[in-house]
Structure 1
Amino acid sequence: MIVLSEDSQRTSGRDAQSMNITAGKAVAESVRTTLGPKGMDKMLVDSSGGVVVTNDGVTILKEMDIDHPAANMIVEVSETQEDEVGDGTTTAVVIAGELLDQAEELIDSDVHATTIAQGYRQASEKAKELLEEKAIDVSAEDRETLVKIAATAMTGKGAENAKDKLAELVVDAVLAVRDDDGVDTDNVSVEKVVGGSIDNSELVEGVIVDKERVDENMPYMVEDANVAVFDGALEVKETEIDAEVNVTDPDQLQQFLDQEEEQLKEMVDQLKAVGTDVVFVGDGIDDMAQHYLAKEGILAVRRTKSGDLKRLARSTGARVVSNLDDLEDDDLGFAGSVAQKDIGGDERIFVEDVEEAKSVTLILRGGTEHVVDEVERAIEDSLGVVRTTLNDGKVLPGGGAPETELALELRDFADSVGGREQLAIEAFADALEVIPRTLAENAGLDPIDSLVDLRSRHDGGEFGAGLDAYTGDVIDMEGEGVVEPLRVKTQAIESATEAAVMILRIDDVIAAGDLKGGKVGDDDGDDEMPPGGGMGGGMGGMGGMGGMGGAM
């Protein structure tokens, strides 16, 4: 009996598992060489010729044109990691790929996928418990540790040469916007400027608006400014219904124009009456209103983005008003200086010298656009980990130390678990060691020697012992200041486990059409999947890579 349409394709049993596992492993393999301080970069070229050079795991996977549904599950792991923690995306994906690799060996040994899934879940829960127990407490007052965490997140990225200075800026920014509700990094605005070097980057305790004053006759700079934030338009409102007015006399037309002018003057008078020196307007400003504002010496900015309006309000203490009739003097914010300045050839409005700025701006400089973009990605990771540390208050040593410790502890735990799940837990332990092994490989070190040294030190009770990728020595990572938030590791393990388990439990793939199996760099994706669900092509059915032309 034929149930599926002729265009459908069905792959079931071991073939389906093998197909999905291969696709997941291929995704992990594509970012594996970017891991760690000696990780390499990828050049991604899209179909229109746009180029991105990065070693940020989530950016690479977003830019790649991945078609295979199982491969996309692994991409989701990186996106979840980015959203939840802001860093550790490559770690999460590499662990997920290794869990699939280990599971494949167990399946070949006739261990059922459900048993493996059960063992993986037990191992994941135990791993998170162990990490919670061994985590190091850190507080907001421990600035030195926060700076080290920020610097660790930037290691191996384009910003590494200036990581010490940038780490200080990141910590200053996060501490400035921190309040009773925690840390919202949306209040840290990032402005990119091409020109100068990364060392020229700076933190402005206030807001930079990428606009100019609307009239040349307005002041360039206002000191001790009362700031109004108006989410509306300084224009005469149009009627909501279509109306037609017949003018029979030129005097009538002049009356209309005079009335409009009077309305605009009243708006400006309302701003002046409450003591406004600077006004940021969310919509347009009529030419006549601009004239009156300039006449009164008020600096005005139009079409300010809603996000900027919120940041201005938070920074200056103003209240966003949507009706000028409601504007009172206590709705105004205060800034010591509001000025139009030139930065990198662009004129922007700087709102500075505000008391307890709860909204700040990082100005990132770099020699080229690609450099600035990569610095921005490094800064976003760094902001994420400092925020997470402040919210959770717990960190772990880096350099593969937690993974090595977990591998040892989980092997002991496996002995206490009966049944075939024991094999899955041991496989989970082996999978975690992919992190120190990859760190060693990417640094040009012997991974076997490095793992043996790490295991030996952890056997001796040194939880903080990790691999120094620069020297090849096993050192105390906590002592060296190489630390990262606890949640980076727990989230990576949790997401990787869930994705691996979901893929392993699939034993039937029913596709409405052909699942294409293009090779890496094969834009047309025309390699049909072989009969029986073989993966066809080196990237395991991941489709073309958006015009990458074999760049990887």
Structure 2
Amino acid sequence: MSLKKQAVQGSEVNERLAALVTNANAIRAVTSAVEGTLGPKGLDTMLVDKFGEVVITNDGVTILSRMEANHPAARMLINVARAQEEEVGDGTTTATVMAGQMVATGVELVARGVPVARVIEGLRLGLRRALEVVRAEARPVADLDDPRIRQVALVAGREHADIADLIVRAAGLVGTDKLKEPNFKLADTVTAVEGADNEVFMGVLISKEPLNRQMPAALSGGVRILILDDALEAEEIEDEALATEAGFARYLQLQDEFRANVKKLVDLGIGLALVDRGVASAAEEILTDAGVMVVQRVLNKELRRAAEHTGARMIKRTGLKKSVSDLEAVLGRAQAVIHDEKLERVRIQGGSGKPMATVLVGAATEEVVGERERIAKDAAGAVQSAIRGGVVPGGGSLELWAAREVDGVRAGVKGMAMYGVECVVEALRRPLAQIVANAGFNPLEKVGDVNAAQVASGSNSLGIDCDTGEVADMEAAGVLDPAPVKIYALRAAGEVAEAILRIDTIIMKREEHQDGTGGRKDE
């Protein structure tokens, strides 16, 4: 073959792989940003914005969500990590690292001549087997008194024992039934505050203060609570209508009706009003004189938690027109409402609705508040996942065990799809290798040691002690991970890897603009 013909063929191959290599490089850049944080010896990452604001964190999803990423493939991986955090509350770094390895191995196989379709076919087969192995090894957790629950919290909480204890206590207050509810997230109960003491209490914390100092600082004894998912203001009227005599008369009528409705609340004996938006000065004056505590611009998620805990039903401002008996039916109840001036927050305790715990994480300085909260939320997400789906050995041990199981799939695969299985095998080896590397040991040597030890002993819980570098039993050492976190990370990594490998061409879209009819007009 002539040199010219070889050059032409090489150029064609390079063009065919251009999109794949470009996307793989973007994935690699994202992976490298978080892989150094994996494991007990993982280091922190400093994020700096254009104004010089600094965030120092070890949390994978925080790094990914705040890093500047313009490449579409990079954004795909970041979105997968966010979905992992939203679904199971932990494991984003593991999912990212495994996805990056799957893509890297896939690109190598395609460059060696394996068709993309066959790579994807093998990847799917390997992933299916890997998920089977992990699901089969999940050990259910009977109740919250199981000591493995604290170990899960300790591992996910990066060995912060005080935070692990807070999360376990909060889980105990909430109960297993609540933790298993699909719409409940234990992580939402976590709040970190500078200068606060670590605390878990049955109730809800509102991150706002009362409207003014004349309002009561504490209420007790069956406090009636109104929750308004709206502004505590009179109904609005259009400016054009207000300019007319009839419109102005209507405005005065609405103001009178509004005052009457506010006085109705006073007659009902409400002690606390939580308001989503602003409060009119007239309402503030009337309620202050009546000794009612009013908190405005409360976060919607806090309103929902307060409603659930107190048994209140959130209403709009038009709901204030209801009769006294109808309004009484939407009120919640609580044993105590306290304005904590030091923390600049309001506590609602002893609600008559569903049990609701709050985890208050103390932080010495403003710089560590955010990181303490992220650590506690990770621990909370891990504990809840463990209750829902059980636990498995951590430290990359189970993944290495699963890698050998997946490798055995090749013998039953015909054709070039057998090569695609390698994508999953290498991805499963990667967590242990990265944990070992971050601990300062040779990953090739240590992965080989663990692999031999697992084969010899038949134990899938053997890994590496990151302090000594010796082979150790992860389960005996208390290094446990929630099974749902492992399962979701594997599935998410496989999905994003397949999506990236399937992209053959990258084309810039032309701009689309709205036309006069509300449709799109191309230019």
TM-score, length basis structure 1: 0.80
Structure 1 counterpart of 2:333, which letter? F
1:60 aligned onto 2:69: no
Alignment partners' CA distance in 2, 1:475 and 1:187: 31
Q: Decide whether aligned partners of structure 1 residues 122 and 292 sit closer, same or farther in structure 2, where only a CA change above 3 A counts.
A: same
SS in 1 for 2:467: coil
Partner of 1:415: 411
SS in 1 for 2:507: strand
Partner of 1:279: 273
1:399 aligned onto 2:398: no
2:285 to 266, 283, 291: 291
Partner of 2:339: 340
Superposed displacement of residue 455, structure 1? 1.1
Superposed displacement of residue 262, structure 1? 6.2
Alignment partners' CA distance in 2, 1:267 and 1:510: 60
Quick check: 2:171–2:186 contact (8 Å CA) kept in 1? no
Q: Decide whether aligned partners of structure 1 residues 173 and 376 sit closer, same or farther in structure 2, where only a CA change above 3 A counts.
A: farther
Alignment partners' CA distance in 2, 1:427 and 1:283: 52
Partner of 2:148: 145
Superposed displacement of residue 177, structure 1? 8.5
Partner of 2:329: 330
Quick check: 2:187–2:378 contact (8 Å CA) kept in 1? no
Partner of 2:97: 94
| Farther off after superposition, 118-127 or 409-418 | 409-418
Quick check: 1:176–1:359 contact (8 Å CA) kept in 2? no
SS in 2 for 1:396: strand
Partner of 2:228: 230
Structure 2 counterpart of 1:293, which letter? L
1:480 aligned onto 2:477: yes
Q: Decide whether aligned partners of structure 1 residues 318 and 52 sit closer, same or farther in structure 2, where only a CA change above 3 A counts.
A: same
Quick check: 1:228–1:333 contact (8 Å CA) kept in 2? yes
- For 1:44-193, list aligned pairs within 5 A: 44-155=47-158, 160=160, 162-169=162-169, 171-172=171-172, 175=175, 178=178, 181-182=181-182, 184-185=184-185, 188-193=188-193
Alignment partners' CA distance in 2, 1:34 and 1:61: 12
Quick check: 1:389–1:485 contact (8 Å CA) kept in 2? yes
Quick check: 1:193–1:364 contact (8 Å CA) kept in 2? yes
Partner of 1:242: 241
Superposed displacement of residue 155, structure 1? 1.7
Cα distance per residue 1:489-525 (max 9 Å; x no partner): 2222222222222222333333469xxxxxxxxxxxx
Structure 2 counterpart of 1:171, which letter? A
Structure 2 counterpart of 1:124, which letter? L
Q: Decide whether aligned partners of structure 1 residues 226 and 427 sit closer, same or farther in structure 2, where only a CA change above 3 A counts.
A: closer
Superposed displacement of residue 245, structure 1? 6.8
The root-mean-square deviation of aligned C-alpha atoms, in Å, is 3.1
Cα distance per residue 1:147-205 (max 9 Å; x no partner): 2222221227xxx3634334435534653891774451178344332236xxx322232
Structure 2 counterpart of 1:14, which letter? L
Q: Name stretches of at least 5 consecutive residues in structure 1 with no aligned partner.
A: 1-9, 248-252, 514-552
Q: Decide whether aligned partners of structure 1 residues 18 and 443 sit closer, same or farther in structure 2, where only a CA change above 3 A counts.
A: same
Structure 2 counterpart of 1:134, which letter? E
Larger proportion of helix: 2
Quick check: 1:222–1:277 contact (8 Å CA) kept in 2? yes
Quick check: 2:143–2:176 contact (8 Å CA) kept in 1? no
Quick check: 2:334–2:351 contact (8 Å CA) kept in 1? yes
Quick check: 1:57–1:89 contact (8 Å CA) kept in 2? yes
Quick check: 1:337–1:351 contact (8 Å CA) kept in 2? yes
- For these two proteins, the number of residue pairs brought into alignment is 488
Partner of 1:469: 466
Q: Decide whether aligned partners of structure 1 residues 430 and 304 sit closer, same or farther in structure 2, where only a CA change above 3 A counts.
A: closer
Alignment partners' CA distance in 1, 2:113 and 2:244: 85
Superposed displacement of residue 378, structure 1? 1.7
Alignment partners' CA distance in 2, 1:260 and 1:189: 39
SS in 2 for 1:33: helix
Alignment partners' CA distance in 2, 1:378 and 1:138: 22
Alignment partners' CA distance in 2, 1:208 and 1:122: 48
Alignment partners' CA distance in 1, 2:296 and 2:374: 30
Superposed displacement of residue 216, structure 1? 3.3
Identity %: 33
Q: Decide whether aligned partners of structure 1 residues 510 and 418 sit closer, same or farther in structure 2, where only a CA change above 3 A counts.
A: same
Quick check: 1:183–1:387 contact (8 Å CA) kept in 2? no
Quick check: 2:129–2:405 contact (8 Å CA) kept in 1? no
Structure 2 counterpart of 1:289, which letter? A
Partner of 1:380: 377
Q: Decide whether aligned partners of structure 1 residues 466 and 175 sit closer, same or farther in structure 2, where only a CA change above 3 A counts.
A: farther
Structure 1 counterpart of 2:135, which letter? E
Q: Decide whether aligned partners of structure 1 residues 368 and 176 sit closer, same or farther in structure 2, where only a CA change above 3 A counts.
A: farther
Alignment partners' CA distance in 2, 1:17 and 1:230: 52
Structure 2 counterpart of 1:195, which letter? G
Alignment partners' CA distance in 2, 1:175 and 1:509: 50
Moved over 6 A (4+): 259-262
Structure 2 counterpart of 1:185, which letter? K
Superposed displacement of residue 11, structure 1? 7.7
2:358 to 361, 368, 393: 361
Superposed displacement of residue 233, structure 1? 4.5
Superposed displacement of residue 336, structure 1? 1.3
1:503 aligned onto 2:500: yes
Alignment partners' CA distance in 2, 1:416 and 1:45: 50
Quick check: 1:201–1:363 contact (8 Å CA) kept in 2? yes
Alignment partners' CA distance in 1, 2:96 and 2:423: 17
TM-score, length basis structure 2: 0.84
Superposed displacement of residue 442, structure 1? 0.5
Partner of 2:439: 443
Q: Name stretches of at least 5 consecutive residues in structure 2 with no aligned partner.
A: 1-12, 511-523
Quick check: 2:166–2:200 contact (8 Å CA) kept in 1? no
Superposed displacement of residue 120, structure 1? 0.9
Alignment partners' CA distance in 1, 2:25 and 2:278: 55
Alignment partners' CA distance in 2, 1:354 and 1:291: 27
| Farther off after superposition, 442-451 or 298-307 | 298-307
Superposed displacement of residue 312, structure 1? 1.5
Cα distance per residue 1:338-372 (max 9 Å; x no partner): 1211234xx32211133565433332321233311
1:219 to 202, 216, 220: 216
Quick check: 2:123–2:424 contact (8 Å CA) kept in 1? yes
Quick check: 1:12–1:509 contact (8 Å CA) kept in 2? no
Superposed displacement of residue 437, structure 1? 1.0
Quick check: 1:31–1:60 contact (8 Å CA) kept in 2? yes
Superposed displacement of residue 274, structure 1? 2.8
Alignment partners' CA distance in 1, 2:134 and 2:118: 24
Q: Decide whether aligned partners of structure 1 residues 465 and 174 sit closer, same or farther in structure 2, where only a CA change above 3 A counts.
A: farther
Alignment partners' CA distance in 1, 2:502 and 2:403: 24
Partner of 2:3: none
1:12 to 10, 15, 25: 15
Alignment partners' CA distance in 2, 1:64 and 1:294: 46
Quick check: 2:99–2:496 contact (8 Å CA) kept in 1? yes
Q: Decide whether aligned partners of structure 1 residues 106 and 167 sit closer, same or farther in structure 2, where only a CA change above 3 A counts.
A: same
